[in-house]
Amino acid sequence: MAQHFHKGILFYHNAAGQGNIYKELGQVTENLTQLCDDLTIKLSKEEGEIKSLCKEIAEQHAYDVLFILGGDGTLNELVNGVVENNLQIPIGVLPGGTFNDFTKTLNLSPKPMQASQDLLDSQIKSFDVLDVNGKYALNFTGIGLMVQNAENVESNQKQLLGKFSYVFSTIKTVSSPEIYNYELTADGETYTGETSMILIANGQHVGGSKIPLEDLSANDGKMNIFIFDKQNFSIINDFFKVKDSLNWNEISNSITHIACETASLSTDPEAKLDIDGEIINNTPIEVKLLKNKIKMMYLDINAN
């Protein structure tokens, strides 16, 4: 066992992911109680409650590890609470949603029970965070087709069908993709043009699929911006089907890739923004990469 803590708290949300959160609790706590001497289990009943609890934790210094059982949205709320309150406390993630994208970056199992077992052998590692107009994103933000596609999916369809209801391969079902005139400034260099989608990624996985560049990292001090050609909608499907960097050249002519630390983006018309799976706010945006901002429990698959 790599880590041991004195007092931990496990947050969970009864509306997270596909609604199967309760049956997982007993299984995961069996492993988590091996990680810490004292474990508190806390139900988050409404949006914003986890952030409020993070403020209390910062004031009371009551815990030395945080666990979260939920989907990407629940994790995003915890990340915002931790960063806003400058909590230097590691987070252990237990996937309970549809995609659980950052769990893949952490090399944890997609099943909560196995992920809690993985945490027993984990290490603590610092990761970067995106500051998007004052809201924090661990994994990504973006505009365009990804937002349109997500909005086409009814919430009840997501509950019934899970990831197959709105995985990126279904993005072709968007009948009238909107085209945006954009102006992007990245580390002082300006790019302009027309696009159907812009993805700003910190993590390695988005929408259940891996970004096809092997050297992407969530703690390398850079965000990765992908601007997709407005004329080639199928390239978005191809982007998430490519398995590795060897095939990158086949599609890269239709995608502009920029690695940077700061960026500003404006569009005409204004575009809705997807931040870690939550559709909130609009362009224009200012994005800053906050280096080594958050501590996560990470499984080193290369360790002996």
Is residue 56 flagged as an active site residue?
A: no
Which one is catalytic: 49, 84, 194, 278? 278
Considering only CA atoms, which of 124, 116, 119 is closest in space to residue 30?
116
The tokens describing 182, both together, are 């954009």
CA–CA separation, 11 vs 234, rounded Å?
A: 39
- Per-position b or e across 26-62, b if 16+ CB within 10 A of its CB: ebbbebbeebbeebeeeebeeeebbbebbeebbeeee
Residues with Cβ within 8 Å of 222's Cβ and at least 6 positions away in sequence, in order, are: 259, 260, 261, 289
Look-up: residue for tokens 């970067």?
128
Supply the residues annotated as catalytic.
278
